A and B are shown apart, each in its own frame.
Chain A
């Protein structure tokens, strides 16, 4: 069935390290894809998005490229900061609806000074 699978956490990195959080999806059609971030004690915030193949979403130094051939939308950042510590969720409109988002389980990232 339609699903989003993302890298199991937790992920622990040192400040200025390179970050990759893998995300793949299973869907019929061509979904829109999103990364959301949840800081401690807060709701989810949209981090970046891509609506068609080969689109690259970017925000706050984070990037993700919509790869149709590998059905992936991996999140990357070249140099993480302590303030990036949060839970990251990959999501997509997998069900052919523009309002139904299917979320991955989330990946907890901890960045140490």
Chain B
């Protein structure tokens, strides 16, 4: 495997279900991100982990719970979601180096989530 992989690619769940999205990066990076991509809206940054420590949580509802057990893996645990949470969830990774003027992010293919 190369780059950033995400599983599953598609997920349909009911509002009472609990599921998890998985992301794995094979690039040796130390920062990982979750984004939400909804139709006709800009990408929304949900969570950022740098060196396995959460550094950003953009007021995301508690029904989304991230977990970063090591620098290569990132999970998004889902429970009691709403239909409006249906979207493409994208994972990204980058090398977080202080002092750099930019930080190129590499994206996975996404998980298409449908909440019924």
Contacts and interface: CB of A to CB of B under 8 A. Distances in A.
Interface of A: 4, 32, 34, 36, 41-46, 49, 51-52, 89, 93, 98-106
Contact of B109 (A42, A100, A106): A42
Contact of B101 (A32, A42, A45): A32
B109 A99 contact: no
A49 B106 CA distance: 13
A46 B106 contact: yes
A89 B41 CA distance: 11
Contact of B43 (A51, A52, A103): A103
Given A43-B4, A105-B42, A99 B107 contact: no
A101 B105 contact: yes
B31 A99 contact: yes
Nearest to A33: B102
Contacts of B74: none
A73 to B, nearest CB: 13
- The 3 lowest CB-CB distance pairs between A and B, nearest first, are A32-B102, A43-B107, A44-B107
A89 B43 contact: yes
Contacts of A42: 109-110
A35 to B, nearest CB: 12
Contacts of A41: 109
B107 A45 contact: yes
Contacts of A4: 42
Contacts of B56: 99-100
Contacts of A44: 43, 90, 92, 107
Given A32-B102, A49-B102, A98-B100, 16 more contacts: A34-B104, A43-B92, A44-B43, A44-B90, A44-B107, A46-B104, A46-B105, A46-B106, A51-B102, A89-B43, A93-B102, A98-B96, A98-B101, A99-B103, A100-B56, A103-B42
A100 to B, nearest CB: 7
10 contacts: A34-B102, A43-B108, A44-B107, A45-B107, A51-B101, A100-B45, A101-B45, A101-B105, A104-B42, A105-B40
